[in-house]
């Protein structure tokens, strides 16, 4: 079946086209042909590059947006986070909005085809723990049972053992560590610990130690250990359900507030006040791109980590009809916004960050005290 026959109609409606663009038909038929005629371990030649099949499929698509292979390599392995960064870079590089939509769709479609053809995550051999590591784990269990170490110390030492196991997997090239790291899972050490060594501490609904589970998912839990883990999971889910309502209410309030704030007709309100930021990581450094510094100069490259910078901010804008261009920065104008438009997109961006923060609280169940999320700090 050719790609023209299986593409979804809603994409045609969304892009207001009566038929698929020629480049979409060409690229998708090439990629589907590669999928049907090669195995996941094969290397294939695409656009004069000999690449692993998965990389070749992606490169064939993004090359249409002007991406070289060297540019694509920065986003490999193509994890969820790296895919988001790739799409962001794609939109910055290519000003053709319709083509961007189609390239994003092709990546999604090929990802689905690739994932369903090779539906493999782990192999049984990935769960075989080396004998010397099992011996070390059993020594810790004996020390716990004899009272030589307490529950918290046992949990810490199991984590240290998990770190050593991850290093060994990296040296041996075993896939389970790679999958956990590249899959974007949080607390990678805890994942290895729970799957292959011992679950460790579990807590009850009051945040107290419920039981120390000395078995792993790979070897299986005893009935009482399973119940202890279930109690912890229920506590985490309850905490998450309580937290998710708060960002929703905050965002609704922001929407009501920001619906009355527009981009000012003024280029520069003349404000002398600036917001001072300490660049502690790359995320902060990249977030101030296309903003203006205190001298009115556009920031086009990220500042060095550890430096301080003062930027114009909407917090100090003096424009009476909204936020001026100098205080707002160029990011909105690059997206096609113009004077008079409301700033609701700001609350949407904040909503994403806050909701993600609330959902993270489900992963804090292994802590002795569940931490409340301070959404003001998250902003």
The 3-state secondary structure of the chain reads: CCHHHHCCHHHHHHCCCCCCCHHHHHHHHHHHHHHHHCCCCCEEEECCEEEEHHHHHHHHHHHHHCCCHHHHHCCCCCCHHHHHHHHHHHHHHCCCHHHHHHHHHHHHHHHHHHHHHCCCCCCHHHHCCCHHHHHHHHHHHHHHHHCCCCHHHHHHHHHHHHHHHHHHHHHHCCHHHHHHHHCCCCCHHHHHHHHHHCCEEEECCCCCEEEEECCCCCCCCCHHHHHHHHHHHHHHHHHHHHHHHHHHHHHHHHHHHHCCCEECCCCCCCCCCCEEEECCCHHHHHHCCCCEECCCCECCCCCCCCCEEEECCHHHCCCCCCECHHHHCCHHHHCCCCCCCECHHHHHHHHHHHHHHHHHHHHHCCCCCCCCCCHHHHC
- pLDDT for residue 37 is more than 80: yes
- pLDDT for residue 146 is more than 90: yes
pLDDT value of residue 238: 64
Whether residue 77 is preceded by a cis peptide bond, meaning omega within 30 degrees of 0, is: yes
Strand partners of residue 213:
200
226 exposed, middle or buried (CB, 10 Å; 0-12, 13-18, 19+)? middle
User: Who has greater pLDDT, 183 or 93?
Assistant: 93
Q: End-to-end distance of the chain based on CA atoms, in angstroms?
A: 48
| Torsion sign, CA atoms 61, 64, 66, 69 | positive
Q: How confident is the model at residue 269 (pLDDT cuts 50, 70, 90)?
A: very high
Residue 22 phi, psi dihedral angles, 5° rounding: -60, -40
pLDDT value of residue 14: 47
Bridge-based pairing of strands 49-52 and 275-278 is: unpaired
The pTM is what?
A: 0.43
Q: How confident is the model at residue 99 (pLDDT cuts 50, 70, 90)?
A: confident
Q: How confident is the model at residue 83 (pLDDT cuts 50, 70, 90)?
A: confident
Q: How confident is the model at residue 233 (pLDDT cuts 50, 70, 90)?
A: low
* Poorest-pLDDT segment among 61-65, 128-132, 188-192, 275-279: 188-192
Residue 345: CB atoms within 10 A of its CB come to 14
C-alpha–C-alpha distance, residues 247 and 352, integer Å: 9
pLDDT value of residue 78: 80
pLDDT value of residue 359: 60
* Average pLDDT of the residues in 329-344: 81
Comparing CA positions, the residue from 349, 358, 328, 373 lying closest to residue 254 is: 349
* Poorest-pLDDT segment among 15-19, 120-124, 216-220: 15-19
* Poorest-pLDDT segment among 99-108, 157-166, 316-325, 355-364: 355-364
User: Who has greater pLDDT, 203 or 82?
Assistant: 82
C-alpha–C-alpha distance, residues 197 and 7, integer Å: 46
Comparing CA positions, the residue from 155, 165, 145, 154 lying closest to residue 367 is: 155
């Amino acid at each position: 079946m050719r790609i023209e026959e299986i593409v979804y109609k809603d994409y045609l409606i969304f892009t207001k086209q009566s038929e698929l663009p020629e480049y979409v038909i060409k690229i998708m038929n090439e990629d589907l042909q590669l999928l049907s005629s090669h195995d996941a371990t094969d290397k294939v030649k695409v656009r004069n590059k000999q690449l692993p099949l998965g990389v070749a499929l992606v490169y064939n698509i993004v090359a249409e947006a002007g991406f070289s292979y060297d540019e694509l390599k920065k986003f490999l392995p193509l994890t969820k986070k790296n895919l988001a960064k790739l799409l962001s870079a794609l939109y910055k590089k290519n000003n053709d909005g319709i083509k961007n939509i189609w390239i994003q769709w092709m990546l999604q479609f090929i990802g689905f085809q690739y994932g369903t053809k090779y539906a493999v995550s782990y192999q049984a051999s990935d769960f075989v723990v080396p004998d010397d590591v099992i011996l070390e784990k059993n020594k810790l269990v004996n020390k716990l049972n004899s009272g030589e170490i307490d529950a918290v110390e046992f949990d810490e030492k199991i984590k240290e053992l998990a770190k050593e196991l991850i290093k060994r997997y990296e040296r041996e090239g075993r896939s389970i560590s790679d999958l956990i790291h590249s899959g974007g899972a949080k607390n990678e050490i805890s994942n290895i610990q729970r799957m292959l060594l011992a679950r460790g501490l579990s807590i009850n609904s009051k945040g107290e130690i419920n039981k120390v589970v000395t078995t792993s998912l790979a070897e299986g839990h005893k009935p009482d250990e399973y119940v202890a883990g279930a109690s912890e999971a229920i506590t985490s889910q309850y905490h998450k359900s309580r937290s998710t309502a708060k960002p929703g209410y905050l965002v609704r309030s922001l929407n009501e507030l920001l619906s009355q704030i527009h981009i000012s007709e003024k280029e520069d309100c003349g404000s002398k006040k600036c917001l001072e930021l300490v660049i502690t990581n790359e995320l902060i450094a990249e977030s101030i791109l296309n903003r203006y510094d205190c001298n009115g100069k556009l920031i086009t490259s990220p500042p060095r980590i550890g430096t301080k910078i003062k930027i114009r901010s909407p917090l100090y804008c003096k424009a009476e009809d909204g936020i001026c261009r100098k205080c707002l920065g160029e990011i909105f104008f690059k997206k096609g916004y113009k004077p008079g438009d409301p700033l609701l997109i700001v609350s949407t961006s904040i909503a994403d960050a806050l909701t993600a923060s609330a959902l993270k609280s489900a992963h804090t169940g292994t802590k002795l005290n569940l931490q409340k999320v301070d959404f003001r700090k998250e902003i």
